[in-house]
């Protein structure tokens, strides 16, 4: 995966060395020699990853990172802190400044490129999700994310045939406050429920770790779990293959305790951030097609589905019927009992609609007390029978409006229209016919179903 990399270092030789390594791998490289230039370049060029040296005169890497993360325009760009310092505090300070990863000088090509590749994949997914959400509403910024949800202890499964190493890694994590389990005793957690990170040693003999990696990434419940690989120089090729299969990061042997804790933390935060983005996108999609009061489809989705079914009906002459419903005397319900009771009646009516249609029927609220059921593949006579069944279900049992209050007798009128290929693909024609039939039912005394010829 290629991308645009911003390299920030005050030493020219370091910048040129990184530029040569990255351009040899077909990355586009942008160079900056100090903090202020880095801030300008990040805003202007929108790089996919920033390699940021810590020790720079004037504005050091920590301050640059803080400013990048405070700016909504650059807050989502992954930052890798590059430092010659290996102490725990320098790494923690970088994470507190908002860095997404760190790498210690001198670094080898394998470590550098795996870090960049992992961050490029993460950035690509996060960017797509943010764009999808922004298309339906305001964009997400880090300040909008629940910090408590992001920083609660990680839930980690350690997979390692070496009992000694597995125990040591688990001890490291538990002492830091994380929750750990082995794959063997994790129970239903192996299905991905509640797991943030899978720590997977690549030198397994009893099973193929690459197969386990692939299985996790193919499973619906496990594909979001971050996979942290324990790797040595011998199995670097295997590590690259695992990264291609979807693994998130690597840690080289011998495993350093502080690096393990830092990498588990960053992977957990990435996993949870992506999950938050996914939930918000799903919620945005849901809100765009769902009526918030009744939970039925809204008019926007109704028109989209009806247009598709009408077009299909014109091509293959398959029937499509609709039944338009209107609650009789609904205004008097609001006037007499208030809008809260009126809303409750609408919700109860929606429930009775759902209970009396086929799974493939599309139940919608057009607005107010008007509802529509789209019935694919149903001719007019059967559609009238279905609408009559719904009418009877509404009239048969009074609607409750609260404890200690009298029940309400509610009735509904319905108009049915059908197309069996004789109309154009314009859904408005069918909707007008259903409205005309509904008007005729109202005019004839209400609480009845009527149909007009298509």
Which pair of structure tokens corresponds to residue 175?
Answer: 């002492």
Residue 369 designated active-site = yes
Q: Torsions phi, psi of 7, nearest 5?
A: -105, 125
Rounded CA separation 323/62 (Å): 64
Q: Is the dihedral of CA 429, 433, 434, 438 positive or negative?
A: positive
Tell how far CA 32 is from the center of its chain.
35
Catalytic residue among 369, 370, 403, 420, which?
Answer: 369
| Other Cβ atoms closer than 10 A to 295 | 14
Pairing of strands 370-376, 362-367: antiparallel
Catalytic residues, which ones?
Answer: 369
């Amino acid at each position: 995966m290629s991308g645009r990399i911003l390299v920030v270092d005050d030493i020219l030789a370091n910048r040129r060395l990184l530029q040569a390594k990255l351009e040899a791998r077909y990355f586009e490289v942008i160079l900056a020699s100090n903090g202020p230039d880095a801030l300008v370049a990040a805003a202007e060029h929108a790089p996919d990853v920033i390699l940021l040296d810590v020790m720079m005169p004037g504005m050091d890497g920590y301050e640059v990172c803080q400013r990048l993360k405070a700016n909504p325009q650059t807050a989502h760009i992954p930052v890798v802190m590059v430092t010659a310092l290996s102490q725990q505090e320098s790494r923690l300070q970088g994470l507190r400044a908002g860095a997404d990863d760190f790498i210690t000088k001198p670094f080898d090509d394998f470590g550098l490129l795996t870090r960049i590749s992992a961050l490029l994949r993460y950035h690509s997914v996060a960017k797509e999700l943010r764009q999808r959400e922004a298309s339906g509403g305001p964009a997400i910024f880090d300040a909008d994310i629940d910090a408590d949800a992001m920083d609660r202890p990680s839930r980690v499964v350690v997979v390692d045939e070496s009992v000694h190493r597995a125990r040591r890694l688990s001890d490291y994590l538990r002492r830091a406050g994380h929750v750990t389990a082995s794959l063997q005793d994790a129970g239903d957690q192996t299905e991905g429920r509640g797991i943030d990170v899978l720590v997977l040693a690549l030198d397994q003999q009893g099973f193929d770790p690459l197969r386990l990696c692939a299985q996790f990434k193919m499973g619906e419940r496990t594909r979001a779990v971050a996979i942290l690989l324990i790797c040595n120089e011998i199995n670097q090729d295997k590590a690259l293959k695992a990264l291609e299969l979807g693994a998130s990061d690597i840690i080289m042997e011998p495993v350093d305790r502080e690096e393990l804790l830092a990498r588990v933390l960053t992977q957990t935060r990435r996993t949870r951030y992506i999950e938050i983005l996914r939930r918000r996108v799903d919620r945005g999609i849901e809100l765009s097609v769902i009526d918030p009061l009744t939970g039925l489809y809204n008019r926007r989705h109704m028109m989209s589905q009806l247009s598709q079914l009408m077009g299909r009906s014109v091509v293959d002459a398959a029937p499509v019927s609709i039944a338009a419903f209107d609650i009789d005397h609904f205004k008097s319900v609001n006037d007499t009992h208030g809008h809260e009771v009126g809303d409750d009646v609408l919700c109860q009516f929606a429930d009775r609609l759902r209970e009396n249609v086929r799974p493939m029927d599309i139940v919608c609220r057009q607005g107010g007390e008007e509802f529509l059921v789209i019935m694919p593949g149903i001719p007019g006579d059967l559609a009238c029978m279905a609408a009559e069944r719904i009418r009877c279900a509404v009239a048969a049992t009074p609607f409750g409006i609260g404890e200690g209050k009298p029940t309400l007798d509610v009735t509904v009128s319905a108009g049915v229209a059908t197309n069996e290929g004789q109309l154009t693909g314009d859904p408005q024609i069918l909707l007008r016919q259903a409205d005309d039939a509904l008007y005729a039912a109202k005019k004839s005394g209400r609480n009845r179903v009527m149909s007009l010829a298509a």
